Structure 1
């Protein structure tokens, strides 16, 4: 049990109690937006990866800065070790994750990488509460296993080699790092602050990677049809999804929020159909049903032992 004497009900920065349904709703929408990347992956297949990602995060940082200014918020300035946590979020969840996916598909079928990412709910359910000095909630851990099994059914399997398994493990750890490494700084910096600093740090790293591996002229190879896809990644998949996700993590805790990462393959499957792809078979739809069961099971628990402590306004917010 937690030794904190703070109330279990999350408090928004405005001082108003957070609505109990807002955390799950934000997590679900945020992960659905992440899953919508399938809509642009084909368009960007022949574009320089690191250049596109660098542009994506640069645009996202500018938009987040504009949002802070327009809403009257000051830019929260990290202190001391907070820089290390934010660098960890950026370099694992945003930079190395992309490297792992790109290098991994050269050694393994994409479904193998997808299966690795599908295991994220279990890792968040086990490790997330420990960062808040609480114990994992058994029901949430069981729900995470159910969500993972459902996501695996949706994603399917594939062939791989030893290197492919290594890259799959890397993507799993990096995807989990995106959430777990943000937990220690989320309370003071808030979703806006964590998102802003993570994306600009990632943008700098990706510009360096692009220049080193793709050359200075990589940006010039982008075609007009690449622009809408890059804008979707920057605005929908980064700005909106990041803000929704980190808000949800702050309200319902990383363990329960992690259940909604199972929405990603579901949204990808549905998006594929909407884009004219073949209708998935019964195994995929059964996987979708299992994911739903797992999420419902995890969110039915009423114990506040895993929730993050209330978010208090910091001096820079």
Structure 2
């Protein structure tokens, strides 16, 4: 095995990079639909994703490892409530009480937490190499986004968004061997629709027909950021394990900065570029041979 061929292989690395790169474009895309009701827009996004994923999932039923049990259903509901609906709710509320830099910096700490929690949940010992890489990634994300400011309430909501991001991966670990990336993505996106619709009602939103620009952004979010990114991420998660895969969350601020520049919404600062370099160093160090575990089953060669 070469140094580049760490557990999980090149496919896991490329999948995690691609998935997080697509997620990073969400910040800039969201700026184009800032006036559309937030939870209604998210409900439309996940409804579109579910419409694409459910037919794909139906084709895989014959290969399923038995019917879903009560524990599986509970994990699916918990994953959807926290990692999708809860994450979106906390992110919206955090943005109302704190500036974007504070929110991004708090959520950017996910790799450090996952470097500890991920292996423990899966019954493995945390890797020092991955932890050091995670610290570099989190530091780079904080440098790229700045320190920011905000109220204690804003920080609490940002912490809630961080928890949602972590649970999106941790709760998926016991489900991936049975469901696989396609069925897991299909089920959680479908379950997210009524949850987000309920949040829209609670928030008093008045849904309307999106404009052409808003519609294009919602379609992009549903197809590219949800369908494609979810499949890439969950496939990589099974191959790399949560600790090593979480390092690639540091790609998000890099992708966000590039997308913002491409769309003409701003030019990255020197601190942003320095933070991006630190993130790249952390990902490279943490994913080389000697860090992390391969969480796939022994017979999973796909």
For the criterion TM > 0.5, the same-fold answer is yes
- Whether contact under 8 Å (1:188, 1:311) holds in the other structure is no
SS in 2 for 1:81: helix
Deviations 1:144-194 (A, max 9, x none): 010000111111121111111111111111111111111111111111121
Determine the C-alpha separation between the residues in 1 that align with 2:39 and 2:253.
23
Runs of 4 or more off by more than 3 Å in structure 1? none
Report the counterpart of residue 286 of structure 2 in structure 1: 298
Whether 2:196 is the aligned partner of 1:209: answer no
SS in 2 for 1:141: helix
- Whether contact under 8 Å (2:54, 2:183) holds in the other structure is no
Determine the C-alpha separation between the residues in 1 that align with 2:83 and 2:94.
15
- Whether contact under 8 Å (1:249, 1:257) holds in the other structure is yes
- Whether contact under 8 Å (2:54, 2:187) holds in the other structure is no
- Could you tell me how far 1:230 is from its partner in structure 2? 0.5
Determine the C-alpha separation between the residues in 1 that align with 2:179 and 2:237.
13
More helix by share: 2
SS in 2 for 1:279: coil
Determine the C-alpha separation between the residues in 1 that align with 2:19 and 2:278.
20
Determine the C-alpha separation between the residues in 2 that align with 1:224 and 1:281.
32
Report the counterpart of residue 310 of structure 1 in structure 2: 297
**Which of 30, 34, 58 is the matching residue for 2:23?**
34
SS in 1 for 2:96: coil
Q: May I ask how many residue pairs the two structures share in their alignment?
A: 291
Distance 1:311 1:201, change over 3 A: farther
Determine the C-alpha separation between the residues in 2 that align with 1:219 and 1:186.
34
Report the counterpart of residue 240 of structure 1 in structure 2: 228
Determine the C-alpha separation between the residues in 1 that align with 2:106 and 2:228.
25
Report the counterpart of residue 5 of structure 1 in structure 2: none
**Which of 49, 53, 62 is the matching residue for 1:60?**
49
Deviations 1:210-238 (A, max 9, x none): 233235xx332532321110001100010
Distance 1:228 1:93, change over 3 A: same
SS in 2 for 1:183: coil
**Which of 223, 230, 253 is the matching residue for 1:265?**
253
Aligned-residue CA RMSD (Å): 1.8
Whether 2:163 is the aligned partner of 1:165: answer no
Whether 2:64 is the aligned partner of 1:74: answer no
TM-score normalised over the length of structure 2: 0.91
TM-score normalised over the length of structure 1: 0.87
Range 73-82 or range 286-295, more displaced:
73-82
- Whether contact under 8 Å (2:129, 2:286) holds in the other structure is yes
- Could you tell me how far 1:19 is from its partner in structure 2? 7.3
Determine the C-alpha separation between the residues in 2 that align with 1:222 and 1:290.
39
Gapped regions of structure 2 (runs ≥ 5): 1-6
Report the counterpart of residue 145 of structure 2 in structure 1: 155
